[in-house]
Structure formats: structure tokens, C-alpha cells
Chains A and B, each alone.
Chain A
Amino acid sequence: MLDQTVTADGRTIGGVVMEMKNITLRFGGVEAIKNISFDIREGEIRAIIGPNGAGKSSMLNVISGFYIPQEGEVWYKGSRRPPMKPYQVAQQGIARTFQNIALFEGMSVLDNVMTGRLTHMKTGLFAQSLWKGKAEAEEIANREVAEKIIDFLEIQAIRKTPVARLPYGLKKRVELARALAAEPSILLLDEPMAGMNVEEKEDMSRFVLDVNDEFGTTIALIEHDMGVVMDLSDRVVVMDYGKKIGDGTPDEVRNNQDVIDAYLGVAHD
């Protein structure tokens, strides 16, 4: 296990919090992920990049428990994680956003963010419908967390707006808010900036950095925009056709010949 290190901008990065060991994932005859190993350290921003179809989203789905790999082991906080359902993974403190936005369109922003608190609710359905005693106190505490996140992501003005009426960029931000509401120790972001304009990307990057800085959340993200990845992340895993072809700091990865080939293409003689 690695010791604590301090980055150039003063953040502390701790030891390994999650480790993927020799993961292989198949869909029938297709090998989406081929024997990949990498780790995520506490407090870092870890990017997974690669061309289309490289297996990035599959990798994220393995972490979030949506896919169970045929081979390999997932280690979380020092112990091997048995095969789990996604909700069990969420209860362990891993939250995510989705590439194609999966919000409850008919519900308000606030309600959507509150659903992120679900894993922290302990009172039963009966108590909650009566709105008595503990249920009330719990709801108030949860609302407070939700409001802090709404304030943090600067979406106060749309608090009561149904999600369906929001533009794409804001929906992405609401999704981030919902994931944060779970107060995760690891946050998985599947293409948080896809389809955004430059200004929206800048805003989102700022928020990702702020989340990491303010809450100390470990972040694993998939992103296509190389500029964003290189600016944000501490370490980068590069995938191509299900294989890991690079792993290291943005600078190391940028100068890796295999990575350059994968992205720019190589001449086949």
C-alpha cells in the first residue's frame, strides 16, 4: 500500500481505497474487459480514457456492481468484495452518475437530490408516511444535506423546477447533486462533460475539483475531452479494445507510444 502523498496544489492523497485485480468481463463471446488491473487511491481524481468501445463504461459498471466480472477480484477498503447488487455497492459509499442522465424527469430537482439520501434513511415506510418522531427528524437532517449540496452546486434557482424542463447541462449538474447527496466516499462520473459547450465544461470541471477539494471525495471519471482529463486528473488509465494500454500521471500517459497510437492510429503495413 502506498503512503500518503501531497500533490503540487496541496491536496493529500491517501492509500489505495479500491483495487481492481485481473478483471475480465465477457458478454457471450465478446471480451469487453481483458485482464485489467489498476487501483484508485483515496482522495485522488482518477480518469479512465480510451476510444469508443474500449470498455470504459463497462469498467465503471464493474466498480458500481452492475456487472459482475467472470474473472478477477474487486478489493475495496482492504478487503475483497464479494459479488454484490448495485444497491449494496451504493450502501458501501459508492455513488455514480450516468452517461445518458438517469433522473426522475417528472420530479423536482430537490426531490431528485433527496432520492440520493435514500441509503441514509433508516426509518420505515410506515413511520415516514405518518411523519412522526424519528422520521421527521431524519427528513429534516436529510433535507439539510440536500440543501448544502444545492448551494454548493449553485442550483438554488431551479430547486423546485421539474427536471424535465431543464436544459441538458443543468440536468448533468443535478445528477451530480444526487450522487453527492449520498455522501459517497467514491464518486463515479460517466462522461460528466459529454455534449456540453466550453463554458459548461469549465463550470463542471470547477465543480468536480471543488467536490474533491471540499469533501475529499475520491473521484473516478470517464471522459472524452482530453483537455479536461489532463487538467483534472491525478492519474489516468488508458483502455483500448478492452485492454489496459497505459497507466500513470497525465504527462506519462501523454508521452506513452501505445496511447498515441491508439488515439492517432498507426499505419498497418
Chain B
Amino acid sequence: MAKTLTRADGPQSVPALLHRNAKQFADAPAYREKEFGIWQSWTWSQTEAEIEALALGLLNLGVSEGDFIAVIGRNRPYLYWAMVAAQMVGAVPVPLYQDANAEEMAYVLEHCGARFVIVGDQEQVDKVIEVQDQLHQFEHMIYLDPRGLRKYDHSHLHQYSHVQEQGRAAYDEYIKELRAREKKLNYDSTGVMLYTSGTTGKPKGVVLSNRNIIETAKSSSEFDGLRQTDDILAYLPMAWVGDFIFSVGQAMWTGFCTNCPESADTMHVDLREIGPTYYFAPPRVFETQLTNVMIRMEDAGRFKKWLFDHYMAHARKVGPAILDGKNVSFGDRLKYRLGELFVYGPLKNTLGFSRVRVGYTAGEAIGPEIFDFYRSLGINLKQLYGQTEATVFITAQPDGEVRSDTVGVTCPGVELKIAENGEVFYRSPGVFVEYYKNPESTADTKDSEGWVATGDAGFIEDDTGHLRIIDRAKDVGQMADGSLFAPKYVENKLKFFPNILEAVVFGNGREECTAFINIDLTAVGNWAERNNIGYASYQELARHPQVMDTIQSHVEEVNVSVAGDEMLSGCQIHRFVVLHKELDADDGELTRTRKVRRRIIEDKYHDIITALYDGSKSLSTETEVTYEDGRKGSIKATLEVRDAKVLPVATKKLAAE
């Protein structure tokens, strides 16, 4: 149905899509939320009525066209409706991260000049009240959950359901105005503003038009053949562009059902109950689930354990091939069917993946073993590459061409080009309008022809046309001999080992590469427990000779793998240390989203870096640490510097050619 609609006559705004859905899919479920232990659901026509009531209520409160309305809270249907209602009245919804602290919120609310704020509960109300003196345009706040708010001053505070009631009561008065405002919405009007998380500097407000949202939703839905009967679980932050496009953009375009969990803690149970057909999760979620499965299998009986190991080995062998529709012998297929009956089926059911038709992961590199585990079970897990400025989609993996080391081919309508320094540029209908109130940054990122710099370095594989991302462009450098230096690429390979939590690779402008390693206390601690190795602290475990040996073997394995890549074979790690403390966001070594801050680490640990390059066998160092409550202390340690085996690279010649 949806496919016949073309740009000219199709709905030109998200509210227009809502009206279309309410007519076309009137009685199909649009939103579900588990509350009081029961899944409550709303059909598309009910959703339309709810959103309209809120929109009328907003008019009643005096929302003007072009106003910004901030939306803060966990994933709930009411808050998704709030975003659409805001669009209906000609305002711009601005979803914010609910876990942001009051100052971060103050910055964003003041930057966009939000007159209205719609929040989930008391926690958010308190945060906004705390900073309201700094907000010059802020006028009214609407909250969803009245718990604990009864005694608050209600002169500027309104309960969501009351706003809707007032809206319904004032139907005759405002409906004409509402329709008139809706009519004005077109492809060029702003659909939403999303703030980027801001790893460098202050967050920037990315303005996305209806064109961005609808075109992207349309082409990506077609790319994966999304259907009206699909189900998704909305559990990732509403302020994140991905959630907006999945739960609003694509949901509105194809008319599928968005399911909201009961609370953040119940996500896994809810996932199992809903059994989504379309699912997105960052690599971290898949990793945790796999670890849980493995730990529970360790505790299982011997027969069950044997059954699991036996059939998982078979799944690893033929599972991905079957999923990709390749030729697999009859015997192997039969055995896979048996495995499905005994192991894969029940396992998928436990994980909540029984019905997944399309699954995506993105945001970070996913370990090949983790990726293959899910694919071998017959779960169609794929990778995509995107960013807020592109309205998510830049590249994605088509069915049948899925690999863990690429991010796929360009999405429909997207053009790619690679600059001389390796940086990836793209152009698409999804390219953002501008950074709000920040023309310099807009000009820096987007050129006059509409090409946008991703800030990532990568290359397109000649034979397959798949894009491979190597690293952040600003981190990519050159070794002393001119070969390519891409630290993140090597660090990711190291981090795929469960024993390694974090790694930092150095070597820009130097002869050879070296690394800092952080062990994973859970994994290594577990190993120590099983092997009766006592330890009192992280520091003691980190410098245990057997741990050092294990890490050395991991580093050497990575070296073998890196040496196989002709472009990056210079990045083999010659020497490494296992750090005496975990890199920590409280010490400024990582960002809050756990990305390594290279410059700061280089400054702080310059003595260790020196030791890595001057050939010494060990060094003593003292490091300042910040505790969670803000107190400072210091750790003294003697670190062992280890040499790792490096492959004498034949490919170096290739690079020199």
C-alpha cells in the first residue's frame, strides 16, 4: 500500500502520516505499553484521538508555531505522542536524554529556548525546576506521572491527562486552528530537533525536516521490507536519532506497532513477551546476553551442556550459510533442523528473538564471535552505519551480504565519496538541514553541494562495494615509515577478547606501535576464581604473571590478524603494559559514553609511554585517581613492560611499492 505513494501526493509530514494510518490501519495496534503487569494497547485510530487531544490542549496552553517543546523521559507511548502533537501544532519537538544532569539539561533547554517541557515523572520535573531560573523562555511544564507531585506549585505545571481533557473540552474552539496549522506543514518544515551527544564541546542541535524523516523512513523500510504487522521494542533513549526514526519515522511510515517496556529493568522480560520482529541493539546488549547464556550453560547439567556444545558447533559451521541462502548439504540441513528443535529454538525464545526478521546493531564495532553466534542461530542480525546528521542511515547490510567487518552498502538514495585523507563523505535526502543557531559548524560539516563529512575514515571494498570504517578520521595518522596508523582498528580487535576491557594504541609518527591494556575484572576475576588464584585488588590481578601471559597471547593473536591486512600491517603491537588502574570517566580518561580520550591519556601517562619506547623492562609510576564521591587519591605501582611477537611483515614491501 505504502509503496504506491509518491513524493508529490504522499503525506508531507508526520502528522499527515498519522491521519493516513488512522484511516488505513484503524484497528491495528499502533502502540503498546506494559503497565500494572498487563500489555495495554492503542490502535491507530485511538492513537490519533489521543494525539489530537493533546495537540488541542497545547493550543489551549498557548503554543505558537515554531516554538520548541522539549520531551524528557523514558520510552512511553504518551511521550511519542507528545512529539507528534508538537509537530501537529507547528512546534518543534526536542527529545532530551533523560539521564542528563540538570546543567546539561539547562544548556540544551536554553539553547533551543524551549517554552514548553513535557516530562515523564517527578525526577525530571525536579531537574527542570532546579534550573528554571536560567531558562529565559521556559513557561509551562507538563508531566505524565503525578506521583509525588501533588504538593508542587501548579501555576506552571500541568498533568498530561488534564491537558488532554482541556483539549477535548475545547475541541470546537481550537479544531479549526489545529487543522489550519497542520495544513501548513510540508516537506521543508522542521520535524524534530535532536541534540548530538557532544563528545567534543557542547551539544549541537541537529535540525531534521519532514523530508529527512519521511524519505529516510521510506527508503529504509523498503530496504528491509518492513511490514505493517511488524513489532519493535522501543527501549533506547528517545533523544537518540535511531529511536526517533525507528519508533516514529518508520513506525508512522509502515504503520507497525511500537512496544514500550514496563521499566528499564524489565526490558529483557518484555522483550521475550513481545518477541519483536524488527530489533535494534548496540553491541553491548548482544555481548551481555551472550555472556549470560554462556554463564548459565556452565551451570547446566552435563547432558544439556553436551547438547548445547554439539549443536552450537554445528550452527557455527552451517548456520550463517543457511541464513544467507547458500548451498548447504541435505544432511547438514537436517541436523540444523534438529538443532533448531532442541537448542536454537528454545534459546531464541529465551532471548526474545524467536520472531526477529530484521535485527540491527550499530554504534560500535561488534566482535566477530558475538556477531556469528547470533547469526548462526538463524537470527538475521546485520550492521548499519549512520549518524544523526544523516537521519541515521548511510550504509546498511543487505540480506545475504552480511559480514562482521563491514558496515554494508549505501542505503537507497545515499551517495558516498572518500576524501584523500580517507574521510568518508555522504550525500542523501536524509542530510540534516542545519545545526540550530550554529552556522559555522553547519558550514564546517556540510558543503555547498550537500556533502557531509562523517569524521570517520574508511574505504570502499573494490569487489563488494561494502564500506569499511577504520577509525575516527582525526585519530588516523601515519607511522614514521609512512604506513597507515589506525589505533581504533587495533583496539577493537583487542577488545573483542573478553579478558580485555579497554586498550589504547600509540604509534602516530613513530617507528612502531605500543599499547596500554586494561583487563576486564569480571572475566579475569572469574578465571582467577576458577584457578584458585587469590588477589586483593585490581592492581594485583593486573600484574599477575599468568594474566600477563594471557594478555600477551591475545596481543600476539591480534598481531597475526593485523599483519594479514595489507593496509594496516604496520600497526602490529611491539610492546605493551597492563595498566594498574581502569581507565575511568571520572578521571577524564574516557568520555561518559566510554570513548577513549587519547590526548588526555597521552599527557597523563607520558612516563609509561616513554618506557614503552625506550626499551626498559619495568617502571614505577604514580597516578592520581578520583573516587566516585569526588575525593582524590593516588596509586603507586611498578609496571612490567612486555615485548610481543611481531610478524616480519612482507606486506611492508607492498606498502612501499
Chain A residues near B (Cβ < 8 Å): 9-11, 110, 143-144, 147-148, 150-152, 154, 156-157, 159-160, 210, 213-214
Q: How far is the CB of A30 from chain B (nearest CB, A)?
A: 44
Residues from chain B with Cβ under 8 Å of A152 in the complex:
147
Helix, strand, loop or mixed for chain B's interface? loop
Whether the Cβ atoms of B148 and A147 lie closer than 8 Å is no
User: How many chain B residues touch A (Cβ–Cβ < 8 Å)?
Assistant: 13
Report Cα–Cα, A210/B148, bound state, in Å: 6
**Contact of A148 with B36 at beta-carbon distance under 8 Å, contacts A156-B265, A157-B265, A157-B269 already known:** yes
The residue from A148, A156, A160, A214 contacting B263, defined by CB atoms under 8 A apart: A156
The residue of chain B having its C-beta at the shortest distance from the C-beta of A151 within the complex is: B36
- Chain B residue nearest in CB terms to A150: B37
Within 8 Å of chain A (Cβ to Cβ): is B266?
yes
* A177–B437 CA distance with the chains assembled, in angstroms: 50
Bound CA span A157–B148, Å: 21
Say whether A159 contacts B37, CB under 8 Å. yes
B151 engages A210 (CB within 8 Å)? no
Given A154-B263, A157-B265, CB of A213 within 8 Å of CB of B150: yes
**Extra 8 A-B pairs, beta carbons < 8 Å, given A143-B37, A147-B36:** A9-B151, A147-B37, A147-B38, A148-B36, A151-B36, A152-B147, A160-B269, A213-B151
Contact A156–B151 (Cβ < 8 Å): no
Give every chain A residue within 8 A of B262 (Cβ-Cβ): 156
Query: Could you show 13 A-B contacts with beta carbons less than 8 Å apart?
Result: A9-B151, A143-B37, A147-B37, A148-B36, A151-B35, A151-B36, A156-B266, A157-B265, A157-B269, A210-B147, A213-B151, A214-B147, A214-B150
Cα distance, A210 to B147, chains bound together (Å): 8
Closest B residue by C-beta to A110: B37
In order of increasing CB-CB distance, the 3 nearest A-B pairs are A157-B265, A147-B36, A10-B151
Residue pair B151, A144 in contact (C-beta under 8 Å): no
Tell me, in angstroms, the Cα distance from A160 to B272 when the chains sit together: 14
Q: Which of B260-287 contact A (CB under 8 A)?
A: 262-263, 265-266, 269
B518 to chain A, nearest CB (A): 27
Closest to B36 in A: A147
- Note all chain A residues with C-beta closer than 8 A to B269: 157, 160
Q: State how many angstroms separate the Cβ of B548 from the closest Cβ of chain A.
A: 35
| Distance from A245 Cβ to chain B, minimum over Cβ atoms (Å) | 34
C-alpha spacing A110/B37, complex, angstroms? 10
Cα distance A214–B147 in the bound complex, in angstroms: 7
Q: When A147-B36, A151-B36 are in contact, do A157 and B150 touch as well, CB less than 8 Å?
A: no
Chain A residue, CB-CB nearest to B37: A147
> How far does the alpha carbon of A5 sit from the alpha carbon of B183 in the complex, in Å?
55
A10's nearest neighbour on chain B, judged by CB, is B151
- Chain A residue at minimal CB-CB distance from B262: A156
CA A148 to CA B38, docked complex, whole Å: 11
- Beta-carbon contact of A213 and B263 below 8 Å: no
Known contacts A9-B151, A210-B148, A213-B150; A157 and B36 CB within 8 A of each other: no
